[in-house]
Structure 1
């Protein structure tokens, strides 16, 4: 029951994330709102990378980030980031579809080398917080970046402000 809900949400939200990443213009790829912020390109690439983490999170009981590597390409190339996104979504989908309901209650831990950075905690909680909610958080940041640079934000949950009569 919970797993089916996660799969349904995953597919719906992948479409929304795709729309958002497709809205990132090359002309603003180097924009960053503050000295400590990522550029728009780095933020887009991070969003695409989170989908890669589904594999380690959903197929391993201990995910060592230091032992894993992902070729990302340049964050200044939005087309490369979109390709990375599509590749990682396919991997994430396969990992999600390979789960069984009982896998959601298994303990899971994230390490970087010998240092434990998350967990142990039930895999279902990790999926919700570290994967799903993490993406939503960064999508919200991307919306701010797009608006700050005068770009149109795509409607992900219906019309956006710019589409409404109130903005005319």
Structure 2
């Protein structure tokens, strides 16, 4: 039952993420709110990249980032980021299709070489925190970037302020 909910949420939120990434204008990809922040292009690409991590998280017991390489493309090309997103969504969808309720209970670990970054912890907890919630967190940041640069924010869970006509 939990797996059905995760899959349904995944599909719903993929559409929301797509709307948000499509709202990122090429002209503002270099914007960053502070010296230590990512640019808007880097943040958008990071969101697209998280979908790639579904594969290592859902299909491997130990996911070693040191041995996993993803060609991401140019952070100053929103079309490349959108293509990366669509490609990674398909990979994530395929990984989700291999998941079982039992696998959600199995321990999972993330490493970078010999260094343990996350875990061991049940894959179901990792799926919520490292995958789903991680995307939501960064989407919230991207919304702030869009507003700070005067861009419209698409409605993800209903109309936004801009869409309400109260401006």
User: TM-score per shorter chain, which class?
Assistant: over 0.9
1:2-81 correspondence runs (5 A) = 2-81=2-81
- Equivalent residue for 2:113? 113
How big is the alpha-carbon RMSD for the aligned residues of Structure 1 and Structure 2? Answer: 0.5
CA–CA distance in structure 2, aligned partners of residues 117 and 28 of structure 1: 33
CA–CA distance in structure 1, aligned partners of residues 122 and 6 of structure 2: 15
After superposition, the C-alpha distances for 1:30-71 in whole angstroms (9 at most, x for unaligned) are 000000000000000000000000000000000000110000
Note the residue ranges of structure 2 that are not aligned, 5 or more in a row: none
Task: Give 1:165 deviation, angstroms.
Answer: 3.6
1:127-166 correspondence runs (5 A) = 127-166=127-166
So what's the TM-score if we normalise by structure 1? 0.98
Task: Give 1:164 deviation, angstroms.
Answer: 1.4
So what's the TM-score if we normalise by structure 2? 0.99
- Return structure 1 stretches of 4+ with deviation > 4 angstroms: none
CA–CA distance in structure 1, aligned partners of residues 58 and 145 of structure 2: 31
CA–CA distance in structure 2, aligned partners of residues 162 and 55 of structure 1: 36
Note the residue ranges of structure 1 that are not aligned, 5 or more in a row: none
Q: Specify the SS of the correspondent of 1:38.
A: coil
CA–CA distance in structure 1, aligned partners of residues 69 and 166 of structure 2: 47
Q: Specify the SS of the correspondent of 1:37.
A: coil
Task: Give 1:163 deviation, angstroms.
Answer: 1.4
